[in-house]
Amino acid sequence: MNNSIKFLVKEKDNRKRLDIFLSEKIDDLTRSNIKKIIKSSNVKINKKIAISSSKKVKTKDIIAINLLIKKLDKLSPSKIKLDVHFEDKDILILNKPKGMVVHPRAGNHENTLANALIYKYKDKLSNINGEFRPGIVHRIDKDTSGLLVVAKNNLSHSKLGKQFSEHSISRKYLCLVWGVIRPLQGTIKTLISRNKKNRQLMMVSDFNGKKAITNYKTIKVFNIKDIPRISLVECELETGRTHQIRVHMKYKGTSLLGDNQYGKKNIKFKKINEDFLDKLSFLDGQALHAKSLGFIHPSKKKWVNFESELPSDFKKLLNLLKKLSG
């Protein structure tokens, strides 16, 4: 089973259903996706093909899953221009545009960042995560723009991966949210798990899930007639859970502008200025940008930090808010 990821079942996961165990381990895939992978004979328990999604795993079992639902001989290159922010022999710092998926997954096998990397760099990237995630150390959401680090060799990948697992990487984001977050500066600590009603979404959980920590501070509050207040907030991640900032902002009652998945029911649109909503139509997806990325360089062994400019739609929205708030 090439391009597979392996998991060791620990005591706390003993007797869990196979599909539930894997859905908790792999943020990218829903339980439905995982059932399809199991059904297509792409999951093994202790080197034997798993037949049933409901199979109960046991402590010390080794679970191997091939993440490629669609059988491909190799990752197809895509001629897509990459915004290379920095490059040396060990790493790439890329500025990912909004709308681009980082790597192939269920229902999206082409025109991803990984396809673009293969086109430009061919085999000059790390392969620790398999052929279908060349150089990919971490990811950001499709509709989030900003900085990503890519590893050009396996040693660099391992050293960067360790920093991510130890939460020593510095990742700062800027976002625009509805309302004013209280207190204006603080730390959000919760558990985050898959939404029980919609497995493609995440939610704050009281009992189950992965630890999620977001430090935040309010940069500016915009007061505009006939609409709810809007705040510019900087968020720094200590952990990197799927949709973490979006889930945490919703949890605080301050959903991101443009977030159609987590924001719809969280905004009080009574007596809101309809013209303003029309002016937001250019914002395709959430107003969230990964503005800075800092870590210890894998070969130079010294701290490096990278900053990126806001994308044009974010700048346009900020200028509109400044103009309307006087």
Span 81-133, pLDDT tens digits: 999 999 999 999 999 999 899 987 655 667 899 999 999 998 899 988 877 88
| Residues whose CB is less than 8 angstroms from the CB of residue 17 and which lie 6 or more positions away in sequence, other chains included | 53, 54, 55, 56, 57
Helix (H/G/I), strand (E/B), else coil: 49: strand
Mean predicted lDDT score pLDDT of the chain: 88
* 77 and 24 inside one domain: no
CA angle 233, 239, 242 (to 5 degrees): 80
Residue 196 banded pLDDT, cuts 50, 70, 90: confident
Domain boundary pick from 166, 194, 214: 166
Q: Which one is catalytic: 13, 19, 90, 141? A: 141
Residue 263 banded pLDDT, cuts 50, 70, 90: confident
* 106 and 196 inside one domain: no
* 178 and 319 inside one domain: yes
Calculate mean pLDDT across residues 226-237.
Answer: 94
CATH code of the domain containing 284? 3.30.2350.10
What are the distances in angstroms from CA 321 to CA 216, 288, 290, 309, 312?
Answer: 21, 16, 20, 18, 14
* 185 and 278 inside one domain: yes
Q: What does the pLDDT read at residue 68?
A: 55
Total domains, the chain: 3
* 187 and 272 inside one domain: yes
Helix (H/G/I), strand (E/B), else coil: 48: strand
Whether 307 shows a pLDDT value over 60: the answer reads yes
Q: Establish if 305 belongs to a structural domain.
A: no
pLDDT greater at residue 79 or residue 270? 79
Q: What does the pLDDT read at residue 1?
A: 47
Q: Establish if 308 belongs to a structural domain.
A: no
* 317 and 209 inside one domain: yes
Is 16 within 8 Å of 57 (Cβ atoms)? yes
Burial 201-217 (b: 16+ CB within 10 A, else e): bbbbbeeebbebbbebe
* 216 and 286 inside one domain: yes
Calculate mean pLDDT across residues 46-54.
Answer: 93
Is 82 within 8 Å of 116 (Cβ atoms)? yes
Range of the domain at 154: 72-166
pLDDT greater at residue 123 or residue 71? 123
* 136 and 184 inside one domain: no
Q: What does the pLDDT read at residue 133?
A: 87
Q: What does the pLDDT read at residue 280?
A: 78
Calculate mean pLDDT across residues 156-179.
Answer: 94
Residue 171 banded pLDDT, cuts 50, 70, 90: very high
Residue 285 banded pLDDT, cuts 50, 70, 90: confident
Q: At residue 294, what is the residue type?
A: G
Q: What does the pLDDT read at residue 20?
A: 86
* 235 and 116 inside one domain: no
Q: What does the pLDDT read at residue 103?
A: 82
CATH code of the domain containing 38? 3.10.290.10
Pairing status of strand 185-194 against strand 170-178: unpaired
Q: At residue 325, what is the residue type?
A: S
Calculate mean pLDDT across residues 272-295.
Answer: 84
Q: What does the pLDDT read at residue 265?
A: 52
* 177 and 162 inside one domain: no
Q: Establish if 206 belongs to a structural domain.
A: yes
Calculate mean pLDDT across residues 145-156.
Answer: 96
Q: Establish if 42 belongs to a structural domain.
A: yes
Query: Would you call 141 a catalytic residue per the annotation?
Result: yes
Q: Establish if 301 belongs to a structural domain.
A: no
Calculate mean pLDDT across residues 30-39.
Answer: 80
**Range in 11-20, 54-63, 100-109, 308-317 with the lowest mean pLDDT:** 100-109
Calculate mean pLDDT across residues 212-226.
Answer: 95
Domain boundary pick from 143, 166, 189: 166
Q: Establish if 299 belongs to a structural domain.
A: no
Calculate mean pLDDT across residues 191-216.
Answer: 91
Residue 67 banded pLDDT, cuts 50, 70, 90: low
Tokens 């630890």 sit on residue: 211
* 177 and 277 inside one domain: yes
Is 148 within 8 Å of 97 (Cβ atoms)? no
Q: What does the pLDDT read at residue 69?
A: 44
Q: Establish if 56 belongs to a structural domain.
A: yes
Q: Establish if 295 belongs to a structural domain.
A: no
* 76 and 58 inside one domain: no
Domain boundary pick from 142, 166, 190: 166
